[in-house]
Amino acid sequence: MAVSSAAQRFVQAPVYSEGTSPALQVASGDFNGDGNTDLAFVSNTTPPMVTIRLGTGTGKFDQGQEITLSDSAAGIVAGDWNNDGVIDLAVSTYTLQGITNLSTLLGHGDGTFTAAGSFDASGNAGLMASADLNGDGLTDIVVASISDSDAVAVLMLGLGGGKFAKGTSLNVIGNAPDHPVSVVIADFNRDGILDLAVNGVCTFDGRSTLAIVLGKGNATFGVPRDYTTATNDYNNLIASDFNGDGLLDLMNSGNELAVHIGRGDGTFAPPLMIAGVSDYGGFIAAGDWNKDGKARHLTGAAVCRELCWPAVGQRRWNL
């Protein structure tokens, strides 16, 4: 598939840091109903915290609520857990004793949230993704892993009313000796069924694997396809149409950014490498932050709290 260079054009953005605590993952949505995209991210400050930033629709964000967590954080995801039409949040947490939980924060529709429940994540704590994976009208969550010993992700089925079932294991890496560090849910082969894309990091040689796991529509999945590898250690993964061809692409972050152009059949072109992060990349998120109809992305380096915008029409802002 030929893609014009203009359609793939990203530019390096200047970045600057504020603080030293890593922003681990970012979730986005309209948290206060004003039509603008807002952000929520977790960081292991002292104490661990969820930070809300409210979008203005101009590419800038205002300070919002800060929510203290009792346990260490690993990831965050947005969704409507209690089917009230208001966006909620869920945080993946862990303790030094190995206890892992999914902690929910129910939204009030005004950009604020209240802690609600905690559910057993079956040993996994990591970056997350959410969607209705079995067609029952309830949002489910997939949790990746931050443990070098885990080769699986965990599926937590939504039960409604803000509750989740205990996590069950998913084989998402196939034959590669990797552990899944991030996961994205989307329909990559255009069959109307949600699939998984997973970043896996091998602890033996430092390489990374990008695996595609096609869904069956009933919260079960086919055999993972480890279709490409890279020598860089990638961390976070997002899906969006970055080149405007109507097909989903993938972007992952690590020492640099890599864009995999989607072919629409569940496969992707070799990665396009993009400069844009000064340190080891942490979270990334995609959205139309200034309402110009173009997908932009945010990156945050894992060694400093920062946001940059290395896309066409670059911008940046402090947290």
pLDDT in tens, 185-230: 999 999 999 999 988 765 555 567 788 999 999 999 998 887 655 5
pTM: 0.81
The structural domains of the chain, with segments of one domain joined by +, span 23-317
Residue, of 5 and 273, whose pLDDT is higher: 273
Q: Which two tokens stand for residue 28?
A: 């986005």
Return the pLDDT at 203.
52
CA 150 from centroid of its chain's CA atoms: 19
pLDDT digits (tens, 9 = 90+) for 27-78: 999 999 999 989 998 988 889 999 999 988 887 788 899 999 999 999 999 9
Rounded CA-CA distance 315/112 in Å is 26
CB of 294 closer than 8 Å to CB of 309: no
Q: Which two tokens stand for residue 209?
A: 């694997």
- Specify the CATH class of 23-317 in words: mainly beta
Return the pLDDT at 297.
53
Return the pLDDT at 93.
94
State the pLDDT confidence band at 287, using cuts at 50, 70 and 90.
Answer: low
pLDDT higher than threshold 80 for residue 136: yes
Return the pLDDT at 135.
96
- Averaged pLDDT, 112-126: 90
**Which of 315, 310, 211, 181 is closest to 257 using CA atoms?**
310
pLDDT higher than threshold 70 for residue 11: no
Q: What amino acid occupies position 129? A: A
